Copies of this chain bind each other. A is one copy, B any other.
Amino acid sequence: MSEKDQQDRDLVLKFLSGVKDPALKKDIISLGFVKDLQVDGKQIKIKLSLTSPGCPHKDEILSDIVRSLEGYSVIIEVTHNVLSGSFVRKEGTRKVKNIIAVGSGKGGVGKSTVSILLAYALKKLGAKVGIIDLDFYGATIPSMLGSSFVQEVNESGLLIPPLHQGIKIISLAYFVPQNSSVIWRGPMLSKAVHDFMEKVDWGELDYLIADLPPGTGDVPITLGQDRLINAAIIVSTPQPAAVNVALKLIDTFKKLNVPVLGGLENMSYFICPNSKEKVELFGSRYFKEKLEEIGLPYLGALPFVPQLRELEDVGVKEENISYIIDDIIPVAQELTCRLSVLNYQISERPFFLNIPKKK
């Protein structure tokens, strides 16, 4: 490389080091987001690797880059590299970057529905996604999705999870006849959590969504104590009785050192099919107020959609609920962004620090 070329390149790097990731609050050079840089006179090609698919700050970062390189012609290629926390995963989840619990403490607030919607939204954003149904007594993910199961194992003896519309799924519902129950005391629940993670061939996944059971018992305790999940989000209706139980799960995760990314309100309102008016079935505000009180982000509100419930009775197809998925995409973006920040902070080291030198 000529001295002139090196000077051009250094100048461009200097400009780029003025561009910050608004979430991580560091410049994109220190963060190692610039994976490749080609400077050819006034022509610049940048390969940019962001941390989260559908990063909500992507547009802001891109326009900041273009602005910082005024006078240049800039081509930017964006990829993403989902960060992983510093978790030691065993066997089946070895290549799973993030496991996010969807909990509420309370039953019947729509944890499974939210898990499904989040999984579809993350997939739409370009991520590799799975759902692990840890509500063993009330395993409903397969019936809600209309997903069926062929028992297959890989060469290492790990169970191959069914792939439903691109999403890998494991649920006890695949193994127990519909009207039959599992009469398990607590220790069995702990064992089942580990089995579902370790004895299933999850392969490479960016996000594995863990649908939790109600309560603050064996399943969340196992997830926290055994450091199995990266973070959790909390789902609740705005109804005080539900919110107060959700706060208990938040307290549990705090005691177990599981980071909570925020609270998502579900069944917030209902559009009456006759009058088209908005009815707040479970009240309003209480969840948001309580989250603010304890300093946790409010991730948004989802309506009660009877059509979705009807689809869940027979099996949800992605194409039938694309308008609902679109509604939840901002929540998914916010979530992955917060998770990136968390993983970045946890890793306690700058990642991808070196820009590869041009040969």
Binding site for B on A (CB under 8 A): 105-109, 112, 137-138, 140, 143-144, 178-187, 189-190, 213-218, 220-221, 239-242, 244-245, 247-249, 251-252, 255-256, 270, 272-275, 277, 279, 281-283, 294, 304, 306, 309-310, 312-313
Measured CA separation A60–B22 after assembly (Å): 77
Contact B312–A241 (Cβ < 8 Å): yes
Contact A178–B138 (Cβ < 8 Å): no
Query: Can you name the residue of chain B whose Cβ is closest to the Cβ of A140?
Result: B241
**A181-B252 contact, Cβ under 8 Å, with A138-B105, A140-B244, A216-B137:** yes
Q: What are 6 of the A-B contact pairs (CB < 8 Å)?
A: A106-B108, A112-B241, A140-B244, A143-B240, A179-B244, A281-B281
Measured CA separation A255–B304 after assembly (Å): 36
Q: Which residues of B lie under 8 Å from residue A221 when comparing CB positions? A: 183, 185
Q: Which residues of B lie under 8 Å from residue A187 when comparing CB positions? A: 185-186
Q: Which of A245, A256, A270, A273 has the most chain B CB atoms closer than 10 A to its own CB?
A: A245
Contact A183–B247 (Cβ < 8 Å): no
State how many angstroms separate the Cβ of A166 from the closest Cβ of chain B: 23
Given A178-B247, A181-B249, A185-B221, output 10 extra A-B contacts at Cβ < 8 Å.
Answer: A105-B181, A137-B245, A137-B248, A144-B241, A179-B251, A184-B216, A185-B217, A213-B215, A275-B275, A282-B309
Query: Can you name the residue of chain B whose Cβ is closest to the Cβ of A180?
Result: B251
- Ordered nearest first, which 10 A-B pairs have the shortest CB separation? A107-B107, A108-B108, A186-B186, A137-B215, A181-B248, A274-B275, A275-B275, A107-B214, A181-B251, A138-B245
Query: Can you name the residue of chain B whose Cβ is closest to the Cβ of A313?
Result: B240
Contact B244–A143 (Cβ < 8 Å): yes
Contact B273–A274 (Cβ < 8 Å): no
Q: Which residues of B lie under 8 Å from residue A178 when comparing CB positions? A: 244, 247
Contact A214–B216 (Cβ < 8 Å): no
Measured CA separation A279–B218 after assembly (Å): 38
Measured CA separation A104–B31 after assembly (Å): 51
State how many angstroms separate the Cβ of A76 from the closest Cβ of chain B: 45
Measured CA separation A6–B7 after assembly (Å): 127
Query: Can you name the residue of chain B whose Cβ is closest to the Cβ of A306?
Result: B281
Contact A217–B248 (Cβ < 8 Å): no
Q: Which residues of B lie under 8 Å from residue A283 when comparing CB positions? A: 309-310, 313
Q: Which residues of B lie under 8 Å from residue A217 when comparing CB positions? A: 137, 183-186, 189, 217
State how many angstroms separate the Cβ of A130 from the closest Cβ of chain B: 21
Residue among B180, B214, B273 making CB contact with A215, cutoff 8 Å: B214
Contact A138–B255 (Cβ < 8 Å): no
State how many angstroms separate the Cβ of A214 from the closest Cβ of chain B: 4
Measured CA separation A93–B156 after assembly (Å): 54
Measured CA separation A143–B277 after assembly (Å): 30
State how many angstroms separate the Cβ of A124 from the closest Cβ of chain B: 24
State how many angstroms separate the Cβ of A190 from the closest Cβ of chain B: 8
Q: Which residues of B lie under 8 Å from residue A220 when comparing CB positions? A: 183
**A186-B248 contact, Cβ under 8 Å, with A143-B240, A255-B181:** no
State how many angstroms separate the Cβ of A125 from the closest Cβ of chain B: 27
Residue among B108, B140, B273 making CB contact with A279, cutoff 8 Å: B273
Contact B313–A214 (Cβ < 8 Å): no
